A = this chain, B = another copy of it.
């Protein structure tokens, strides 16, 4: 084998949901060719480090957020010059966090970290715009057959929040009655005995995601059509 010069990086598109909007977490580069440009979180894989371990480490280092859901998205490496400094292939992940009560704190590397609404992103470093676009597409596709939406919400939530979240991700209206029926029929959301009183109007019951029931459905190989 010739002496391969290729570097391996991991990057993650971290999604959060708050203020009725889907957000992406970005950090501002402090060094390198894209100094002062916003980018998604990520970095190089260490020697003898697995990819998942690497991306978790990077997210932890750069943002201090607790990841709820993480899956591999795509590996970017068709253009050997996507990084101007050297040939770098990036294994991209997509992550969901419950961002409601969490502010990402820029960490040891003193990077700025900030949530941006998905439809109001600044210019991004490298090919990160493409990565974010793909992640958004994947989230939209995924949410209709796997209940990943819950990972973006707090443990207990109102039905209207869940509905809002779906609208917002799918970028279209949803029929409230049909939505509720579907979710309740599958029994993957359970009523709690708590009641929300934050909003105006009639208070709503709080619900929670029934992970046990969901696992059962998955075991049975039931394809769940949420839409």
Chain A interfacial positions (CB closer than 8 Å to B): 1-2, 4-8, 44-53, 72, 74-75, 77-80, 87, 89, 91
| Contact present for B72 and A74 (CB under 8 Å) | yes
Measured between beta carbons, the chain B residues less than 8 angstroms from A52 are 78
CA distance A7 to B8 in the complex (A): 8
Measured between beta carbons, the chain B residues less than 8 angstroms from A49 are 80
| Of the residues B2, B8, B80, B91, contact of A50 by C-beta under 8 Å | B80
CA distance A48 to B110 in the complex (A): 33
| Contact present for A79 and B91 (CB under 8 Å) | no
Across the interface, name the chain B residue whose C-beta is closest to A10.
B77
Measured between beta carbons, the chain B residues less than 8 angstroms from A46 are 2, 4
CA distance A1 to B6 in the complex (A): 13
Measured between beta carbons, the chain B residues less than 8 angstroms from A87 are 47-48
Measured between beta carbons, the chain B residues less than 8 angstroms from A74 are 72
CA distance A1 to B4 in the complex (A): 17
| Contact present for B4 and A4 (CB under 8 Å) | no
Pick from A4, A5, A45, A53 the residue with the most CB of B within 10 Å.
Answer: A4
Across the interface, name the chain B residue whose C-beta is closest to A85.
B1
- 6 cross-chain CB contacts under 8 A: A2-B47, A4-B47, A6-B45, A50-B77, A50-B79, A53-B78
| Contact present for B77 and A51 (CB under 8 Å) | yes
| Of the residues B47, B72, B77, B79, contact of A6 by C-beta under 8 Å | B47
Measured between beta carbons, the chain B residues less than 8 angstroms from A7 are 1, 4, 6
| Contact present for A4 and B72 (CB under 8 Å) | no
Across the interface, name the chain B residue whose C-beta is closest to A8.
B6
CA distance A2 to B45 in the complex (A): 10
| Contact present for B47 and A75 (CB under 8 Å) | no
Measured between beta carbons, the chain B residues less than 8 angstroms from A79 are 50
